[in-house]
Amino acid sequence: MTIWGWVLAVVALAAAGPQRELTDVTASAGVAAAHHNRVFKNPYAEIMAGYTALGAAVAVADYDGDGFEDLFVTDSADGGKNHLYRNRGDFTFVDMAAKAGVAAGNDPGNATADALWLDYDNDGRPDLFVVRFGIRQLFHNVGGGGSGRFEDVTRKAGLERYANAITAVAFDYDRDGDLDLFTGNYFQPVNLFNPDTPRFFPESFETADNGGGLTVWRNDGGGRFADATREAGIALSGWTLDLGHADFDNDGDDDLYVACDFGTDRFLVNNGDGTFADRTKQAVGIDTKKGMNADWGDYDNDGLLDVFVTNITDEYMREGNFLWRNNGDGTFSDVARETGVHDTGWGWGGKFFDYDNDGWLDLYVVNGWVSAGPESYVPDVFEMVTRPNVDLADARSWPPMGKKSLSGYQKKKLFHNQGGGIFRDEAARHGVDSTRDGRGIAVADFDNDGRLDFFVANANAEPYLYRNVAGGGASWIAFRLEGRKSNRDAVGAQLRATVKGRTQLRFVDGGNGFAGQSSRRVHFGLAGASAVERLEVRWPSGLRQTFDKLQAGRTYRLIEGQPAAQEIKR
Amino acid sequence: MRGFFAILLLAMGIALPGAAAENKDAAALSQLEAAVAANPDELKSANEYRKAVIRTGEYDRSIAFFEKLTADHPQAAYAWLNFGYAYVDKIPAAGSITQVILANKALTNFGKSIDLKKTWIALFTRGNSYLYWPVIFGRAPLGVADLEQAVEISRQEPKPRKVYVRAWIALGDGYWKTGQAEKAKATWREALKLFPGDPQLQARLARDGEDLEKYIYEQLDPNKRVDTDLSPLWEGE
């Protein structure tokens, strides 16, 4: 190329502006199968259709242990098959669900709503928990290599009970070395497929207390779980949509944020003795919003974990999201407005992750309730709420949505963290501002190149798989933790990486965020640094370990109690 | 005498500690209620009462009080207007759906006031209230109709009172919300001649397009407290 050719090329590049760093590879990756909402067949079906556009979910884990993260993706239609996408390592996937025995999640009496990977028996293989409106499913991973082999152990595990569960997280709340299960239930346990009462809708838009609440399933070992909700001091009956766990006060045990639709979110502090205390009023106050997501992350790198909660923000309902900044004294302050993340429309899943490896957690948020015809459902709802003495708990009071839209066709947001104080939306620039009705997000490095990719589950539509193709050498480091005294997945472990005098806090999360479970691997963006000067790990057991001078651009395996970090060769 | 001091403290926004403060507040509100009840078709004492209610957060008490007052005095146009304001005053303290219910009830009461007596304040209040509703409800044209009448009433006064600028501003907002941007600007320009230097008019006229849209929506945000203090009506009397 001549000198003029180079000049022209540089000018052309400059004119094109900043490059896209994310690209839609859904079709080429072979993961484009659409989700389908459940169509109910009961006297309230027409009404329910507007309120059950749920169930599109995604969960990430390396189920076959080949070093590449795989995907479990849900459907909700009667007879619809769930998908277990095995990652071939070249950004293509193959659906192994039927062969592995985990495809059948939907039938006339059960609809899949969410999914969660957890190694409940500490055997080193991720097992699969399928959350349903109906009877949940627990599949034990019995190996089988790439094709995978799973055994349905729901009954054996003591989990066979009807619930209208919508979300689940797993963490070791009682610190006995195994993962316990927390399921969030939306409707109360009325059989939605054949309800024996019409009074199963929310009694209020702001203070509803007739939902399904939260169930604690304590892992008693031997593959058995027991309902320990009451023993744990929990008695909630809100319309739970999401659960997010984290150690907010750095006291060594994990606390829980409960995001509730139609009313008050709850904040439960772990007392360290197998019980929780409801500290909602003191910590975040009593809200009347529509909480849908709870994801924890230290967005301002101050060493304290903060929470991001989506609510509804539209012309007719200007709630605004919460970004609860952890004040370090048992209280939180909502800084969503000043940081620029308060308005994401009818928000659903929102996930913190550092997509550009600059050392600051960014935030991707999906949204939109029902994108259908041009007519709006809003006036119908308001006609109902202004009707004198309306009984909202009675499904028959609610107008059918039909072909109308409600907060539909909303653009997704990718908030780039500008250094801990403010976020700027970069979704359009990166082509990730789709208008499908998004639900869950799962973040993982699917090609092990040090750049975080993500999968978006959309309701009644095809999903998206976005590959991170940021140019230049990625500056990152990642860790896969294995507990010994702690739970094998090391869920709850905190990692503090110090780079150029600045410390970042990350932790192993057990499925936070609505309808999306991200990778268990802990990823740090290093902003150009070639090494982590010091890494401090606090295991769930309480053991603290430090590792010095770890090279960037590598994934390490950390085993609890072992002094050396082992590099995992790609 | 104690009641007088309680009212004075409440009017000054001075807080007393704990239960003592609650008792004083209750006593003061009772005194103010008695004053309103003695003169139900009047704005001044009710205005003082509602200001005290806002300070103490006793919105439900105020709503119940005006509900009884209007039942006892159904022909008192200003009692209905005050009843509407009692709902409006509660809106910022409510959740988003309750806000709609309160706003709707307020509109009903403003309408009853207008049916009894077509005053500038009632027409401006109802017209302005319509503008807070999302466009999808189609209430902005109703707001324009009320505000046009309010502006017409104000034109008939020999000397424009300062407070009348509010109807002009709102009428422009109404035109803007109904897609009549030029008419909105013309209204604000005409108003600026009558009320030179008014900052709200200047702020609108200095903006265009998305900037103006953002500004107007900020002014019509139901989460912000609407100024229902009517004292500008009798300023300079």
Write out A259-326 in H/E/C secondary structure: EEECECCEEEEECCCCCEEECHHHHCCCCCCECCCCEEECCCCCCCCEEEECCEEECCEECCCEEEEE
**pLDDT band, very low/low/confident/very high, at A318 (cuts 50, 70, 90):** confident
A413 close to A220: Cβ distance less than 8 angstroms? no
Interchain CB contact of B156 with A (< 8 Å): no
> Is residue A172 classed as helix, strand or coil in its secondary structure?
coil
CA distances to B55, B75, B125 from B121, rounded to whole Å, are: 23, 17, 6
For chain A, what is the mean pLDDT?
A: 95
**Three-state SS at B223:** coil
Q: A-chain residues within 8 Å CB-CB of B94?
A: 206, 288
For the cut 80, the answer to whether the pLDDT of residue B145 exceeds it is yes
- What pLDDT is stored for residue A144 in this prediction? 85
> What's the DSSP call for residue A400?
P
Facing A386 at nearest CB: one of B96, B100, B223: B100
The whole-angstrom separation of Cα B95 and Cα A547 is 49
pLDDT at B17: 55
- The Cα B6–Cα B8 span in angstroms is 5
The rounded distance, in Å, linking the Cα atoms of A295 and A277 is 20
Tens of pLDDT, residues A470-488: 987 779 999 999 999 999 9
Residue B16, pLDDT > 70, answer no
Q: Which of A283, A413, A418, A411 is nearest to A339 (CA)?
A: A418
d(CA B129, CA B102): 11
pLDDT for the residue numbered A440: 98
- Distance CA(B65)–CA(A440), nearest Å, equals 48
Q: Which positions in chain A touch B95 (Cβ < 8 Å)?
A: 205-207, 288-289
Across A125-129, A378-382, B132-136, the highest mean pLDDT is recorded for A125-129
Query: Which DSSP string corresponds to A411-455?
Result: PPEEEEESSSS-EEE-HHHHT----S-EEEEEEE-TTSSSS-EEE
C-alpha–C-alpha distance, residues A430 and A424, integer Å: 13
Specify the 3-state DSSP secondary structure of A353. strand
Q: Which amino acid is at A215?
A: T
Contacts of B134 in chain A (CB under 8 A): 315-316, 378
Question: What residue has token string 């009448």?
Answer: B149
Cβ atoms of A420 and A496 within 8 Å: the answer is: no
Cβ distance of A378 and B97 shorter than 8 Å: no
Confidence of residue A14 (pLDDT cuts 50, 70, 90): very low
Q: By CB neighbour count within 10 A (0-12 exposed, 13-18 middle, 19+ buried), where does B115 fall?
A: exposed
Residues of A in contact with B98 (CB under 8 A): 205-206, 288
- What's the mean pLDDT in B94-112? 92
What DSSP letter does each residue of A530-556 carry, written as one string?
SEEEEEEEE-TTS-EEEEEEEESS-EE
Phi-psi region of A9 (alpha: psi -120 to 50; beta: other; left: phi over 0): alpha
SS3 of A333, please? strand
In whole angstroms, how far apart are CA A242 and each of A73, A123, A256, A305?
18, 28, 10, 17
Interface test mutation site (partner A, options B91, B97, B223, max chain A beta carbons within 10 A): B97
Taking CB atoms and an 8 Å cutoff, what residues of chain A touch B104? 386
Contact B14, B24 (CB under 8 A): no
State the average pLDDT over residues B149-172: 93
Name chain A contacts of B137, Cβ cutoff 8 Å.
Answer: 378-379, 382
How far is Cα B44 from Cα A251, in angstroms, rounded to an integer? 57
N-term to C-term CA, chain A: 36
**Residues A426-430: what's their mean pLDDT?**
97
Which sign does the torsion angle of CA B95, B96, B100, B106 carry? positive
Length of chain B: 237
Q: What is the CA radius of gyration of chain B?
A: 19
Rounded to two decimals, the pTM is 0.89
At residue B3, the pLDDT reads 44
d(CA A259, CA A266): 7
Nearest to A205 among B95, B137, B221 (CB): B95
Residues in contact with A520: Cβ distance below 8 Å, sequence separation at least 6, in sequence order: A61, A117, A480, A481, A489, A490, A491, A508, A509
Mean pLDDT of B35-53: 97
Nearest CA in chain B to A205: B97
Three-state DSSP at A75 gives coil
ipTM at complex level: 0.71
| pLDDT at residue B158 in the model | 83
What dihedral angle (degrees, nearest 10) is formed by the CA atoms of A225, A229, A232, A237? Answer: 150
Are the Cβ atoms of A206 and B95 closer than 8 angstroms? yes
What is the rounded CA–CA span in Å between residue A180 and residue A175? 9
Of A289, A318, A379, which is closest to B137 when you measure between CB atoms? A379
Kindly tell me if the per-residue pLDDT of B15 is higher than 50.
no
Region class of A492: left (phi > 0), else alpha (psi between -120 and 50), else beta: left
